[in-house]
Amino acid sequence: MGWWIDVPPSLALSLPPGWLPSRPNGGWAYRDRISPAAAGLGVVAFYAGRYGHTSATVWERRLAAGEISRNGVPLRADAILAGADRLVWQRPPWPEPAVPAHWGVIHDDGDLLVIDKPSGLPVLPAGGFLEHTVLRLLERRHGGDPGGVPRPVHRLGRFTSGLLVCARRPASRAWLSAQLRESTGSLANGASGGVGGGVGGGVGGGAPPCRKLYRALLVPGRLALATGDSLAITTAIGRRPHPPLGEIWCAAEAGDPGALPARSQLTLLAKGSEADLVEVAIVSGRPHQIRIHCAAIGAPLRGDPLYVPGGRARPGGLPGEGGYRLQARWLRLQPPEGLALELEAPPAEGLD
């Protein structure tokens, strides 16, 4: 079972079936409220510091074009900001890249919806995507449904395929989020265990309420494991300076007080001359956790344009760039009532 959005025949000729063509969106308003610490800055200085990936020269052009307003009044020249001022940058429409807009439905009980997200489709608006996202497509498809619009409960990277959990009812989204928090919290209790026993299991050895298994292709020959062997990875994840973005999630530096504990359990499934196939169980759900953890042990995902051996980010690389193969393959959820729900995505090419 699946669905897609039709595109005009003239555009569909150059795209695979079920893809949305590149097209302009309606623009977006970025809103900021000035804190007391930022009072006294000029508008350009504020924006250049707030969004460090864009230079002051660019913000000057945007200001001169009338794209920025303060307290509802458009500005065309720099001005000194006061505490509690409200700034709005009205970003003009921009073209969003073509994306796959189809997916298979793995589970739908009228509330919980689990889809097999294709690689290349973002989940939520970010990184230059506003309309070409799972969220917007769900809103268009289910906007008139009496049960409400299913909304994603978690994120998958744009180029990560596989199981994505959505829910229609706010209460369902709440218990799903609570399960993720509970599983993450087990890290603080020193829980451990192999994949078969529930990596990161709850206190007392019980199975965690939420378990996630991924498959990935790694740069070959970097793992000192025999086929079938497993390795626990506990590298903390933190933010480090990065030229284009200001900061980016990476393997944390020693002594970083903001580092997030993270745990993955990697199992080598098969060795190959072009790639090693692995299965990874995670409980902590940190940003880019699998990509960072595999790179941290010296075996990055094959084709990953961002993370290099050691778990640091390549200067100039961006999180939304593709080239790697990663699939959210298997998921276990425990609803508040009833039996546990176990779901599996169809095998992805090269990952079986």
Q: What pLDDT sits at residue 337?
A: 85
DSSP string, 68-79: EEETTEEESS--
To 5 degrees, how large is the angle CA 317–CA 225–CA 194?
A: 90
- Three-state DSSP class for residue 329: strand
Task: Show Cβ contacts of residue 72 under 8 Å, excluding neighbours closer than 6 positions.
Answer: 86
List Cα–Cα distances, 33 to 8, 44, 60, 76, in angstroms.
42, 15, 19, 19
If you classify domain 192-344 with CATH, what class do you get?
Answer: alpha beta
Task: Show Cβ contacts of residue 322 under 8 Å, excluding neighbours closer than 6 positions.
Answer: 119, 120, 158, 159, 303, 305
Taking alpha carbons only, the member of 50, 132, 66, 70 closest to residue 96 is: 132
Q: What pLDDT sits at residue 181?
A: 62
Q: What pLDDT sits at residue 215?
A: 98
Average pLDDT along the chain, 352 residues, taken 10 residues at a time: 41 76 95 96 95 90 97 96 97 96 96 97 93 97 93 94 96 86 49 38 53 96 97 96 87 94 96 97 90 98 97 91 96 88 95 92
Q: What pLDDT sits at residue 131?
A: 96
Q: What pLDDT sits at residue 182?
A: 58
Q: What pLDDT sits at residue 206?
A: 53
Q: Which fold has domain 28-95?
A: 3.10.290
Q: Where are the domains of the chain?
A: 28-95, 192-344
Neighbours of 32 (CB within 10 A): 16
Q: What pLDDT sits at residue 163?
A: 97
CB 116 within 8 A of CB 346: yes
Say what angle helices 43-50 and 56-64 make with each other, to 10 degrees. Answer: 130
Q: What pLDDT sits at residue 292?
A: 98
Provide the whole-model pTM.
0.86
What's the gap between Cα 225 and its chain centre? 29
